[in-house]
Amino acid sequence: MMAYTRFQTPLGIMTLHASDSGLLGAWFETQTTRPDNLGELSDCHPILNQAVVELTEYFAGQRRDFTVPLAAKGTAFQQQVWHALITIPYGETWCYKDLAIAVGNPKASQAVGGANGKNPISIIVPCHRVIGKNGSLTGYAGGVDIKQALLELEGIR
């Protein structure tokens, strides 16, 4: 069963989407990568409830790592990049080349950038921690202002 919920964060409303096997997506209202069919609106789905609790703790500065099961859909390469994103420590940033090296293909900066941009699970799969080689914030599907706020929340200026 697929289900979704919406909840208010300090940075705006987020939509969370889950199946019984894990979280499928987490989007801010400004993001355009959300699928059309999210299933049933639910306030009692256990994975959605866990994600809300963990994200609330993150925004309160009480959580750095997430334990909610993930079940994002993507190509094998996208999955590899998203798995590498989870290894970026809280409060640190990588450039796209660092991410390419982490997936074993140092020349694939552009390709990992594309997979990074398709990440459907904001914050929990921390694509906001990837910045340009020169330190620029570059793009973020939720908006560069949200990316900057997330990095500042983690102590990155």
Q: List, for residues 30-57, the tens digit of each pLDDT value.
A: 887 788 899 999 999 999 999 999 999 9
Q: Active-site residue numbers?
A: 127
- Domain span including residue 46: 2-60
Q: Please state the domain count of the chain.
A: 2
Which CATH number belongs to the domain containing residue 100 in this structure? 1.10.10.10
Residue 68 lies inside a defined structural domain of this protein: no
pLDDT in tens, 70-93: 999 999 999 999 999 999 999 999
The residue type at 19: S
Same domain, 90 and 144: yes
Tell me what pLDDT residue 143 has. 86
Same domain, 43 and 106: no
Same domain, 48 and 103: no
Same domain, 48 and 84: no
